[in-house]
Amino acid sequence: MIRIFFLGFAFAIIISCTSEEGEGGNSVIEGKVFTKVYNNSFTHLIDSFYAPDIDVFIIYGDDQVYSNDIKTNWDGSYRFEYLRKGNYKIFAYSTDTTGLYGAGIYPVMVDVKIKSNNEVVKADDIVVLETMDYDDGTSSITGRVYVRDYNNERTTLLAEYYGADERVFVVYGNDKSHFDDVRTHHNGTYQFSNLVKGTYIVYALTDPTGRQVYPVADTVEITEDFQHVVLDDFIIIK
């Protein structure tokens, strides 16, 4: 009976000293979530930044479901505390670019190993993808269209004025066609609103010969949120 008691006592000590992954320790895993924002067809990178308010999840060891989650701070950082030694998986959800996931999102995981007590482990950045339309931003481009109205032979100037109801077009980046167009107001003004960061080509159409129209264009770079760009007048011939 004495031998059995000591064997049982020793086995209990071994169990108590073998702790699985999870809370109850004094180590930390910290990292950041980096977001790349594309247009809906993933042909243009619109923006990239360390993203706030992103849900980040942690899996303990070989568990099949996540055990805890936290939101990133203003600088995209997160921190899981009070962890024991062992293997962990950290993940956040990204927009699916392949069409293989029915939900349209998939988890981007990084593996992390805590090797000792009282350790602070830096995880690799979790890089996730998001999409947005060109007009999902906060910036704007405005301008005016000035018309020089000639006779049919383009030999006599009949009138000059800021033109109403003239079409103005906007192209994003190196796209082959415009994604939006507007008509000028009564005083010749136009505006494209809610634009995301990136390079734009804005143009109106002029007809200097009476036989073929040509674009009168300007290139604009929007580099920050809430940017308001005012273009020089487009001068068109009609």
Q: What is the mean pLDDT of residues 189-208?
A: 96
**Among 131, 164, 189, residue at a domain's last position:** 131
Report the CATH number that the domain containing residue 49 is assigned in CATH. 2.60.40.10
Q: Are residues 26 and 119 in the same domain?
A: yes
Three-state secondary structure call for residue 181: strand
Is 66 domain-assigned?
A: yes
Q: What is the mean pLDDT of residues 51-60?
A: 97
**Among 98, 131, 164, residue at a domain's last position:** 131
Is 59 domain-assigned?
A: yes
Q: Are residues 111 and 70 in the same domain?
A: yes
The answer to whether 235 and 188 have CB atoms below 8 angstroms apart is: no
Q: Are residues 25 and 82 in the same domain?
A: yes
Is 4 domain-assigned?
A: no
Residue 14 pLDDT class (50, 70, 90 cuts):
very low
pLDDT reading at 2 higher than 80: no
The answer to whether 65 and 59 have CB atoms below 8 angstroms apart is: yes
pLDDT in tens, 59-87: 999 898 999 999 999 999 999 999 999 99
Pairing of strands 77-83, 86-95: unpaired
pLDDT reading at 12 higher than 60: no
Structure tokens at 232: 């020089």
Lowest mean pLDDT among 8-12, 127-131, 142-146, 173-177: 8-12
Q: What is the pLDDT, as a whole number, of residue 43?
A: 87
Q: Are residues 125 and 145 in the same domain?
A: no
Q: What is the pLDDT, as a whole number, of residue 19?
A: 60
Q: Are residues 159 and 81 in the same domain?
A: no
Q: Are residues 158 and 199 in the same domain?
A: yes
The residue that leads in pLDDT, 229 or 4, is: 229
pLDDT reading at 166 higher than 80: yes
Structure tokens at 137: 């931003």
Is 10 domain-assigned?
A: no
pLDDT reading at 27 higher than 60: yes
The residue that leads in pLDDT, 140 or 3, is: 140
End-to-end CA distance of the chain: 110
Q: Are residues 25 and 122 in the same domain?
A: yes
The answer to whether 36 and 128 have CB atoms below 8 angstroms apart is: yes
Q: Are residues 31 and 123 in the same domain?
A: yes
Q: Are residues 199 and 117 in the same domain?
A: no
pLDDT reading at 10 higher than 60: no
Location of structure tokens 């003239």? 166
Q: Are residues 45 and 124 in the same domain?
A: yes
Q: What mean pLDDT is reported for the chain?
A: 90
The residues pairing with 88 across neighbouring beta strands, listed in sequence order, are 60, 112
> Which domain range does residue 203 map to?
139-237
Location of structure tokens 């293989």? 100
User: What's the number of CA atoms in the CB half-sphere (13 Å) around residue 84?
Assistant: 11
If one counts the domains in the chain, the total is: 2
Q: What is the mean pLDDT of residues 145-165?
A: 95
Instruction: Kindly report the backbone phi and psi dihedral angles of residue 225, in degrees, each rounded to the nearest multiple of 5, phi listed first.
Output: -70, 150
Q: How far does Cα 158 stand from its chain's mean position?
A: 50
**CA 32 – CA 124 distance, rounded (Å):** 8
pLDDT in tens, 96-139: 887 777 778 999 999 999 999 999 999 999 999 999 999 999 99
Is 14 domain-assigned?
A: no
Is 25 domain-assigned?
A: yes
**Among 131, 147, 182, residue at a domain's last position:** 131
Q: Are residues 115 and 174 in the same domain?
A: no
Q: Are residues 98 and 180 in the same domain?
A: no
